Structure 1
Amino acid sequence: MTWVSLTEGVVMCYYESWAVYRPSYGRVTVSDLDPDLCTHYVYAYAGLDTNFRIKTLDPWGDLCEGGGLCGYDKFTGMKAHNPNLTTLLSVGGWNEGSATYSQMAASSANRAVFIYTALDLLHRHNFDGLDLAWAYPTQNGGAWEDKENLVILLKEMREALNPDGMVLTLSMPPNEAIVNQGYDIPGIVEHVDFVSVTTYNYHGSWDHYTHHHAGLYAFAEDTGDNLNLNVDASVTHLLEKSGMPPAQLVMGVATYGRCWTLNSADEQHGYYAPAFLPGDAGPWTGEKGFMAYAEICKKQQDEMWTVAVEFGCNEPFTYHMPSNRIWCSYDDQKSVAIKAQYAAEKGLAGVMVWSINDDDAHGVCHDRKFDLTWTMAETFNAATNN
């Protein structure tokens, strides 16, 4: 396979380290990853301890000590195959909360502890940089001062990483209100290489009706807040109102679906169908209201699932009737290509994949492994070269 050149576009792939514990085809180890596919591989996640030091969240999976799985070293070891690859360690994530990060960023002494320990961990395991996934400044236990303190933190992190030529990236949400409250975009972009925006999870089983969780554009029947719960609305806000340079923005694409249980098998099957319960957990990921793309496409192979696209939309949804009334919105090969084309037309730096392990990692449904991610990479680079 041909390596995707960084000069052509960023393909930033997050790897969920806990995928190593999933059963059957859901189990994806570092050894299953393709070093030639992504320009940036991001290992999720590290965390913070109460003394503001970076910490491994899964010592058995991340480290080699005591016969562990050596996740960090195997991950950065992919560079032996592809020396052009950039490997990043992501710190944060939703489960970490925001309070400890808020306290860390509020004090120069606390920031120094975090930065020193982070740099040490990166060096010991040969990472090329750090991805900050604080979820989210001013939210989730944070403080109003977080918006200003985040910029200070990034400035100091950049100064610490610069001598070794390390990369610094930031992951941020797509929600306009959260962005306005917690992110000083002009200040942030002075200090980071790229910002990846998580343009998915706009809808889910927390809504009592079906909808696409990662629609590129608004649906014709959307009203009110739902008019802004789509990729284009988020990207447009960042570029036109928040001061985000397109060349630093990496647009997220999800390789998983959000699922509901329809209230009735006899009612409508499109968007806004009544659905008060999440869909059954996927057999490999084990989370209600969620299925990896690999789980969805395997079920479509093995069972009678209907696939449809709402009028005026690009992304598919699928449902299994009437036995269990499961309904899932997701992206397929065609819709991820459209999104990659969109990112290229907007002049964005590239695409981000969450997560590489939820793609068809073992080639269960396609002739090649990681088909969605390959499709995005190929489409984006072809579009930027035209």
Structure 2
Amino acid sequence: MRLLLLLPLVAASLSLTEGVMVCYFGSWAVYRQGLGKFDVEDIDPKICTHIIFGFAGLAHDSSIRVLDPWNELCDNYGKCAYDRFTALKQQNANLKAILAVGGWNEGSPKYSKMAADPVLRNRFITSSIELLKKHGFDGLDMDWEYPTQRGGSPDDYDNFVILMAELNQALHAEGMLLTAAVSAGKATIDPAYNVPELSKSLDLINVMTYDLHGAWDDYTHHQSGLYAHPLDEGDNASLNVDFAISYWIEKRARPGQIALGIPLYGRCWTLASQQETGYYAPAHQPGAAGDWTRSPGMLGYNEICYMQTTQEWTVVDDPAMNEPYTYYFPMNNIWCSYDHAASVAIKAEYAKSKGLAGTMVWSVETDDFRGLCHNRKYHLIKTMVEVFGGGSITEPPPLPTTTRDPNEPTTTTRAPPPPGVHCTQPGLNPDPLDCTHYYLCSLNTSGGYNEKEEVCPEGTLYNPQSYYCDWASSVCHLGEDVCPNDC
């Protein structure tokens, strides 16, 4: 039996030898409810070449910082997510487990300050390597969003190069990788990145070719179109995947170090009229939140495809584009641009034709990871792997003992203590009177809570239903009772 179970793993690995499949993991998905809940053990380590844990942050003294100690560390009955994440390598000897630092919520000022000071850079690098080694990570992914932008300094353009060169030297001396998530928008690329110099330091450049459009626009469009729509003009003519990848290459990034970002979620609007349902249709509000992701203006692919199996959504494959959109009037006139199996296959083939390293997804927990819509789990990721690698992933036989209750605890726990001043449970806790911040709560040895206040970046509010700082407008669309004093 053990030999038989190894055969599908070999078959799956063969198709990965042709390129990379970078799988980002949004760790807050562990707090989602019902079928949307996703924990470390839900990751399939056989279909990715690199798994990236999002996110660590930056402390005020410029050392790396664990953002959710209760979930990520083992201390005081924590859930040990870091260690469980890197333990997935035991199921795939070729898998690389990487820790991402940064993300949208972290903003730019702290990183700008750190990158400008050699003492602070050294503190960040030294503390990062210590954390990576302690938990068995294979490298660091720098997700500074973005140098020179969002409160950064013009000097970030040069200082980011210095930081990455120093990180490269330190990480490579330890046999570790250095990767980065970078913008796909020309308006950010030009001031933020010295592309030729950055390319010298990076093992992989993960280009975030998504979120090119969204509910911040007052019209519908595709958030990750491979090519421009015929009606695009002005800045919109450059907001597409092909332009972004071609521009990174034009600015002298090596194609073989670029991973093409593909979203496993949709960006959604509320249509102003049921008579206009195509591209550039008037839409002044975000689409309604889903039951699992709980964030207005977006739905996970798993949410979209599952609702399409139970409700009569209209799906349109516009002949001018390679990606679909879908709408459903009973759900408050919702309209979503997203990717399905056919469109991710086209993008994977595009990445291969351009000589890229492979593909990348944000993020693994919103693929159809339970197989609710398709005859196999992770249908989109597996489709990318098969197209880019030219092989076929053989599905292992189902094992009845592997079925896990999504609400079952994965580590030894203890009963939570009585509520503290701001903490009612371990993990992330909202302030019911103030959505501009939230609290990180972990158990302590005295039988109470350690609590730490976290302030949301300007323009965002803490979404108590999706467990992260979201656009203020999106949070306020959840209803008057969610943030009554901030909306």
Where 2:355 maps in the other structure, the secondary structure is coil
Identity of aligned residues (%): 49
Residue identity opposite 2:127 in structure 1: T
C-alpha separation between the residues in 2 aligned to 1:322 and 1:291?
16
> Please, which moves more after superposition, 10-19 or 302-311?
302-311
Work out whether residues 4 and 38 of structure 1, in 8 Å CA contact, stay in contact via their aligned partners in 2.
no
Q: CA deviation at 1:124?
A: 0.4
C-alpha separation between the residues in 2 aligned to 1:48 and 1:217?
36
Work out whether residues 288 and 331 of structure 2, in 8 Å CA contact, stay in contact via their aligned partners in 1.
no
Work out whether residues 271 and 310 of structure 1, in 8 Å CA contact, stay in contact via their aligned partners in 2.
no
Where 1:216 maps in the other structure, the secondary structure is coil
The answer to whether the aligner puts 1:272 opposite 2:280 as a matched pair is yes
Partner of residue 201, structure 2: 191
Q: CA deviation at 1:25?
A: 1.6
Aligned pair in 2 of structure 1 residues 360, 108: CA closer, same or farther (>3 Å)?
Answer: same
1:243 to 252, 267, 284: 252
> What is the 5 A alignment of 1:24-173?
24-173=34-183
Aligned pair in 2 of structure 1 residues 305, 6: CA closer, same or farther (>3 Å)?
Answer: closer
1:293 to 295, 301, 305: 301
Where 2:228 maps in the other structure, the secondary structure is coil
Summarize deviations over 1:288-341 as a string: whole Å, max 9, x none: 000000000011011110000222211000000255211000000000000000
Where 2:249 maps in the other structure, the secondary structure is helix
2:326 to 308, 318, 332: 318
The answer to whether the aligner puts 1:262 opposite 2:271 as a matched pair is yes
Aligned pair in 2 of structure 1 residues 157, 5: CA closer, same or farther (>3 Å)?
Answer: farther
Q: CA deviation at 1:173?
A: 0.5
C-alpha separation between the residues in 2 aligned to 1:328 and 1:15?
22
C-alpha separation between the residues in 2 aligned to 1:5 and 1:147?
38
C-alpha separation between the residues in 2 aligned to 1:332 and 1:274?
24
C-alpha separation between the residues in 1 aligned to 2:94 and 2:319?
42
Partner of residue 189, structure 2: 179
Partner of residue 221, structure 1: 231
Partner of residue 363, structure 2: 355
TM-score (norm 1): 0.97
Work out whether residues 16 and 389 of structure 2, in 8 Å CA contact, stay in contact via their aligned partners in 1.
no
Work out whether residues 16 and 47 of structure 2, in 8 Å CA contact, stay in contact via their aligned partners in 1.
no
C-alpha separation between the residues in 1 aligned to 2:126 and 2:14?
33
Give RMSD over aligned pairs.
Answer: 1.1
Residue identity opposite 1:305 in structure 2: W
TM-score (norm 2): 0.77
C-alpha separation between the residues in 2 aligned to 1:323 and 1:197?
33
Where 1:190 maps in the other structure, the secondary structure is helix
Aligned pair in 2 of structure 1 residues 158, 323: CA closer, same or farther (>3 Å)?
Answer: closer
1:327 to 328, 332, 335: 335
Which sections of structure 1, spanning at least 5 residues, go unmatched?
Answer: none
Q: CA deviation at 1:26?
A: 1.1
C-alpha separation between the residues in 1 aligned to 2:141 and 2:330?
44
Q: CA deviation at 1:7?
A: 4.0
* Higher Rg of the two aligned structures: 2
Summarize deviations over 1:31-59 as a string: whole Å, max 9, x none: 01111010000000000010001011111
C-alpha separation between the residues in 2 aligned to 1:81 and 1:249?
26
Runs of 4+ in 1 over 3 A off after TM superposition: 4-7
1:336 to 338, 344, 364: 344
Where 1:3 maps in the other structure, the secondary structure is helix
Where 2:390 maps in the other structure, the secondary structure is helix
Tell me the number of residue pairs that the alignment of Structure 1 and Structure 2 aligns: 381
Residue identity opposite 1:129 in structure 2: G
The answer to whether the aligner puts 1:306 opposite 2:314 as a matched pair is yes
C-alpha separation between the residues in 2 aligned to 1:210 and 1:4?
40
Where 1:260 maps in the other structure, the secondary structure is strand
Which sections of structure 2, spanning at least 5 residues, go unmatched?
Answer: 1-7, 392-487
C-alpha separation between the residues in 2 aligned to 1:244 and 1:185?
6
C-alpha separation between the residues in 1 aligned to 2:371 and 2:330?
29
Q: CA deviation at 1:350?
A: 0.6
